[in-house]
Structure 1
């Protein structure tokens, strides 16, 4: 069974009737490492199985599998199926998924006692390149076969970077403005110090984890390769060499700031 299809397997369901008492919500953006983090937390056995349940394609399959038509109905059934024996349910939510729930307030009301982990990547350039490649190839996780060989396009990377920066800022603003219970987490920490990250999240949520069940390293394979680095170098060179583009970006930001605050 492919990794994508495996997420729907009943083998991941919790045995017995467990009530959700706390919810771990990985607040993320595309290609931020949320897939890696979700699988790491699942391995510990204390955070449910934090997957992208609100993704349009995933949600459609869950509706069919569970015989539910509403998002609320699907999520309630998933909480009954995927809550760990300690009462913790996990889900990862990209900022672009919020409309699926009817907005942030509806999301917060749907899941009991939500704890947010705001996951970002310091290297936004690499994240944007990864997004551009995944959109072209259709390969979003390591075990998905790429349909085509990706082709470098400056505008794809540029648009991806703007989207990522906007959504990161929007998550930060929303969590801060609503007084949500959250912590910040960087992708590099998940990759380089996996066990400490799991312990950090456990402490944040006041959840006990067994040391021998905490992965010492990521449990999914990375997808980046030499081609990613070539695209990054080419984008950096093209952007830096275009004085007009640099000037446009600077002036655009200044106009927006002046219009907003003065």
Structure 2
């Protein structure tokens, strides 16, 4: 018997959520966490799962995600960005209108015993720079090319944009604040993970997440499937931006 049926990695872009998903998936005991509920990816997942195009209901989609994303011990994991949460709970509310507005109850009805991992980044300037560069180039991850979240060919060239960085700094603050408020509103205490800790000790932080979820951690494998993308260009943009203040 595990400690949870489902866990959600709650994040804002460029906090290492794909890295953590890959690490947890590699253990074989923590589901196969992916961004299953990101709206632009829904048609891709639905095709993979054989759902009939244009006719499936949201409950069908959730059940297919659970089937595909569970490991043999019955555990399911997924990552959810702040903007994705609304789509998830609205879709579930259409299936269970009696629970509309009760986000936590909706999630538990659909996913069983549910836990939350809150991932954030201490260096928000580095986060904003990484986010801007990913948007400009279309390069969000370096992973298996068959993965749904895999980046395709570059879509643009990176260029330093101080106003774009400032806009993303504000977005990061707003979205992190929204997660904090949502947890408080529903009386949820998530397991908190800092990106900087994850980057420094991927295996140790991953085992800490397993422990928090009540899953075995001592002898399981922990292998990353993503490689670090930040380089000297990121460092240059960060230095240039800090020099403005």
Tell me the TM-score normalised to structure 1 length: 0.77
Which of 6, 16, 21 is the matching residue for 1:33? Answer: 16
Q: Which whole-Å CA distance do the structure 1 matches of 2:115 and 2:180 have between them?
A: 14
More helix per residue: 1 or 2?
1
What is the aligned counterpart of 1:146 among 145, 150, 154? 154
CA distance in 1, matches of 2:201, 2:71: 24
Are the counterparts in 1 of residues 28 and 220 from structure 2 also a CA contact under 8 Å? no
Report which of the two structures shows the higher radius of gyration computed on alpha carbons: 1
Q: How far apart in 1 are the matches of 2:202 and 2:65?
A: 26
Q: Distance in 2 between matches of 1:193 and 1:28?
A: 19
Equivalent of residue 67 in structure 1, options 32, 38, 51: 51
Structure 1 residue runs of 5 or longer lacking an equivalent are 1-20, 241-262
From the superposition, tell whether residues 166 and 109 of structure 1 become closer, same or farther in structure 2 (CA, over 3 Å).
Answer: farther
Q: Which residue of 1 aligns with 2:94?
A: none
Residue 212 of structure 1 deviates from its aligned partner by 4.6
Would you say the 8 A contact 1:38–1:50 is kept in 2?
Answer: yes
Q: Is the contact made by 1:44 and 1:210 (CA closer than 8 Å) also made in structure 2?
A: no
Q: Using a 3 Å threshold, how does the CA distance of structure 1 residues 108 and 180 change in structure 2: closer, same or farther? A: farther
Summarize deviations over 1:36-61 as a string: whole Å, max 9, x none.
Answer: 00000000001111111111221121
Q: Is the 8 A contact 2:203 2:222 kept in 1?
A: yes
Which of 215, 221, 235 is 1:229 aligned to? 235
1:81 aligns with 2:48: no
* CA distance in 1: counterparts of 2:189 and 2:73, whole angstroms: 20
Q: Is the 8 A contact 1:25 1:90 kept in 2?
A: yes
What is the distance in 2 between the residues matched to 1:149 and 1:185?
Answer: 32
- Count of residues in Structure 1 that have an aligned counterpart in Structure 2: 218
Q: CA deviation at 1:79?
A: 0.7
Q: 1:201-249 CA deviation, whole Å, 9 max, x = no partner?
A: 122111113525134xx431011111111111112222x1xxxxxxxxx
Partner in structure 2 of residue 196 of structure 1: 204
**SS across alignment from 1:40:** helix
User: 1:12 — aligned with what?
Assistant: none
Q: Distance in 1 between matches of 2:58 and 2:209?
A: 27
Correspondence for 1:162 among 161, 165, 170: 170
- Give unmatched runs, 5+ long, in structure 2: 91-102, 144-150
The 3 A distance-change label for structure 1 pair 73 and 123 is: same
Q: 8 Å contact 2:6–2:112 — kept in the other structure?
A: yes
Q: What secondary structure sits across from 1:102 in the alignment? A: helix
C-alpha distance in structure 2 between counterparts of 1:74 and 1:179, whole Å: 28
Residues 200-209 or 224-233, more deviating: 200-209
